[in-house]
Amino acid sequence: MSNIVVVGAQWGDEGKGKIVDLLTESAHVVARYQGGHNAGHTVMIKNSKYVLHVIPSGVLHKGKTCIIGNGVVIEPKALIEEMEGLKSRQIHVGKNLFISGGAHVIMPYHTMLDGKHEEAKGNRKIGTTGRGIGPAYVDKMSRTGFRMMDLLDSRRFKEKLKGNLKDANFLLEKKYNSKKLQLEKVYSEYMKYAEYLAPFITDTVLLINKLIDNGKNVLFEGAQGTLLDIDHGTYPYVTSSNASVGGVCTGLGISPKRIDGIVGVMKAYTTRVGEGPFPTELKDKLGEDIRLKGGEYGATTGRPRRCGWLDFVSLRHAFRINGFTSIALTKLDVLDELDTLKICIAYTYEDPYKRCECSKKGVACKFNDMPQDATVLEACWPVYKEFKGWKTNTQGMKKITDLPKQARTYIDYISETLNANIDIVSTGQRRDEVVILRNPFKG
């Protein structure tokens, strides 16, 4: 028995979907522990592309149990559309899928308020997808939210909806000059969703712990990445949940003692979607070339991703928080054509307020560790170490010995500097374009 977590080590979009898809071969269960349909996991099987938003990637494999945990927020319409979309492509979705009754529900007013809140911020916007994720988590924390189990009690749901709509409509009408939502329309719509989803709703805390007790291998799947974690990311430019390893325990109801390995997924470079600090961002033609070569556009929104060099300062932060036992390195092939590569090994910073001793002496501060303050991070400059490019097409290579010497030098430096074994190297989008050095499930 082995239970493995897959966690994004950067700002999300690291290629977790492909890594989960690969590791599912060795798992009996794949469980999603946080986030919502603002995430998109892309998996390429032969020439077919699958984009999953809430349903665990394990659904693409026959005979796997898929669990959506209590830490996830669910927009019922979006989930049903995802389920039906998979069925239309002959992917089985039925008794293999279980939804936590404790997972919170995204309501129409959450989506409306999300967009209005972001719009009102002007140049202070954080880059939300506008899917209602944040407001749903707000209601969860204020103890006014709906849980999936509430959909199964129509009388209780309607009574609570009256109160929630009263508050939401006040904001929509008085603050944002928007049309209010109608009780009967929302109630009728969500009761239809309840009828469809009722067979899938259960106590997944009991379920997943029983499966582990019975010796099943579990793969824990998250969304986004550590640098978007609500507590440990570049706040306020973060998501609304715990995208780091701690979210597994709270989002699924398992003990940390039941986790046997933690795989950190990281690109061979860095990307970020939306607003927020990004010290190694390339705002020139090279950044655009990497975006085009890597297909760096959001799977959920289609937004172009900002691209930059690999950043060891932020990665050290992610490793400290998560305790990664190994690395899955993705998109190595995107860098094939470059003459020179760079890795950020430190930051420099000049404090405009002269608050530190370095600034008082007229010299720049040097950070080996990531500053907590996003405004400080925004003013940081990267210190780089350069590497010679390999100028060889690595797409589809499946053996580490097939990779060119310079590529192996780059990989070895990452492994040695971060003090972690690299188990997997992705050399293309497709499921079979990968170098597997070690299967985390097999130790």
Catalytic residues: 13, 41
Burial class (CB in 10 A: 0-12, 13-18, 19+), 316: middle
- Contact between 326 and 261 under an 8 Å Cβ cutoff? The reply is yes
User: 363 pairs with which residues across the strands?
Assistant: none
Q: How far apart are CA 197 and CA 101, in angstroms?
A: 11
Query: Quick check: bond before 440 cis, omega within 30?
Result: no
Of 73, 59, 62, 53, nearest to 30 (Cα)? Answer: 59
The SS3 of residue 384 is strand
Is the bond leading into 404 cis (omega within 30 degrees of zero)?
A: no
CA distances from 345 to 96, 131, 184, 316, 370 (A): 45, 36, 57, 10, 11
Write the single-letter amino acid at 307: C
Residues 35 and 375: their CA atoms lie apart, in Å, by 25
The DSSP-derived string for 270-322 is EEE-SSS--TTB--SHHHHHHHHHHT-B-TTT-PBPEEE-EEHHHHHHHHHHH
